[in-house]
Amino acid sequence: MTAAGAESRLAALGLTLPPPLKPAGNYLDAVRTGDLLFLAGHGPVQPDGTVVRGKVGTDLDVAAARDAARLVGLSLLGTVRRELGTLDGVRRVVKVLGMVNCAPGFNQTPAVIDGCSDLLVEVFGADIGRHARSAVGMAELPFDIPVEIEMIVEVSA
């Protein structure tokens, strides 16, 4: 798949991107430098605007947390579209950092962050959407969200 197919693939998948949320502090949600777009941590927001909350391993199981990570992926893509005007300007998803608010002993963070990674491959195809990644467990995340994800993408000039 080429980058030029990302918008059409998104439509074919029946996916709608949420409007980007305002940052929760004194920072930008995206910064472009050269051919790279750095996206700040995003959290899971459902289509009705409700924020998903809870600790993975106690309040949410792996499947629910994976769904939350997919919601974060949609939010990240919404920010990319706002910044570039189109997802077709993405040349490569470079790096994803996934943080999981997890109970002690929970060690399935890669399975949770796959919710976002799988979405990126669905939308961009493996050549563009597959990326380097870290998936780490955290004792707490802001506002008790279960997943926070940052992303770096290479973009067209």
Percent of the chain exceeding pLDDT 90 equals: 91
The pLDDT assigned to 157 comes to 73
Question: What six digits make up the tokens of 128?
Answer: 């563009």
Looking at residue 31, its pLDDT comes to 98
Indicate the length of the chain as a whole number.
Answer: 157
Q: What is the full DSSP assignment across 56-85?
A: BTTTB-HHHHHHHHHHHHHHHHHHHHHHHS
Average pLDDT of the segment spanning 111-130: 98
Kind and range of the H or E run holding 100 = strand 90-101
pLDDT in tens, 41-80: 999 999 888 999 999 999 999 999 999 999 999 999 999 9
Tell me, what's the pLDDT at 133?
98
Mean pLDDT of all residues belonging to the chain: 95
The backbone region for 54, taken as left when phi is positive above 0, alpha when psi lies in -120 to 50, beta otherwise, is left
pLDDT at 1: 41
